[in-house]
C-alpha cells in the first residue's frame, strides 16, 4: 500500500481506531507522547505513593479535569487532552505509523495484495511531471486500462484520454 492510499484510509478511520493504532505504536516504541486515560488507574500507575509529585505535575502542567485523556509534556508535567487533541496527536504520527504495518494492519486493509489497480495508478502518477487528480487516474484505470496493451501504450492512451477529458496538457517524464 502506498502512503497516499494509507492516508486516504487513515482519514476514513474513526478517532478510536486512530487512537488504538497510536497506542500500539507508543507501547512498542516507547513514544514520548504516549496518551493515557485520565483516570485513577493512571495516577496509581505513574504516581503510586507519590501524591506530591502528582500534584506538582498537575499544577505546572496544563490540565483540564473534564478531559478524558492525559499525557506527560516534555518537562514531566501533565497535559490533558480532549478527543480532538488526541486525534491531532495521532495525525502527527501518521507517517511513522505507516512505516510500521504491524500497528495498523488490524485496522486498515492492505488492498495492494488484492488489487493491481493501485500499482497501475502509481505507475501513471510516476510517469508524469504534474501531480494528477487521483480520482481521474483511478477512473481511467478502472474503466479504460487494457491488459492487451503494453505499459507504454497504456500510458500514451491515458495521456490522450486525460487531455481530451480535462482539456489540460500533461507531460510525460521521459518526453523530450
Mean pLDDT rounded to a whole number for the chain:
85
Angle between helices 134-143 and 117-127 (to 10 degrees): 120
> Domain check: are 21 and 42 in the same one?
yes
Residue keyed to cell 492516508:
7
Using pLDDT thresholds of 50, 70 and 90, give the confidence band for residue 86.
Answer: very high
Q: Are residues 48 and 97 in the same domain?
A: yes
Encode pLDDT of 106-146 as tens digits: 888 765 544 567 778 877 877 776 756 777 888 888 888 88
Higher pLDDT, 169 or 22: 22
Distance in angstroms (rounded) separating the CA atoms of residues 111 and 6: 10
Question: Are 101 and 158 part of one and the same domain?
Answer: no
Whether residue 31 is found in the same domain as residue 78 = yes
Claim to verify: residue 34 and residue 98 sit in the same structural domain: yes
Q: Which domain holds residue 29?
A: 3-110
The residues near 172 (Cβ < 8 Å, ≥ 6 apart) are: 127, 128, 129, 155, 159
* Closest residue by Cα to residue 15 from 105, 80, 84: 84
Q: What proportion of the chain, given as a percentage, has pLDDT over 90?
A: 32
Strand-pairing partners, residue 75, are none
Amino acid at each position: 500500500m502506498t502512503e497516499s492510499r494509507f492516508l486516504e484510509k487513515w482519514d476514513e478511520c474513526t478517532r478510536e481506531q486512530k487512537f488504538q493504532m497510536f497506542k500500539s505504536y507508543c507501547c512498542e516504541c516507547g513514544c514520548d507522547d504516549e496518551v493515557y486515560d485520565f483516570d485513577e488507574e493512571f495516577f496509581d500507575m505513574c504516581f503510586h505513593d507519590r501524591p506530591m509529585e502528582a500534584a506538582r505535575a498537575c499544577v505546572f502542567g496544563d490540565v483540564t479535569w473534564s478531559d478524558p485523556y492525559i499525557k506527560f509534556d516534555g518537562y514531566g508535567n501533565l497535559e490533558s487532552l480532549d478527543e480532538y487533541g488526541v486525534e491531532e496527536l495521532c495525525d502527527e504520527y501518521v507517517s511513522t505509523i505507516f512505516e510500521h504495518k504491524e500497528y495498523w494492519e488490524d485496522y486498515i486493509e492492505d488492498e495492494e495484495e488484492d488489487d493491481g489497480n493501485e500499482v497501475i495508478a502509481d505507475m501513471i502518477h510516476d510517469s508524469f511531471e504534474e501531480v494528477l487528480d487521483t480520482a481521474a487516474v483511478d477512473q481511467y484505470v478502472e474503466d479504460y486500462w487494457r491488459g492487451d496493451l503494453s505499459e507504454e501504450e497504456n500510458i500514451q492512451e491515458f495521456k490522450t484520454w486525460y487531455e481530451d477529458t480535462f482539456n489540460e496538457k500533461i507531460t510525460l517524464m521521459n518526453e523530450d
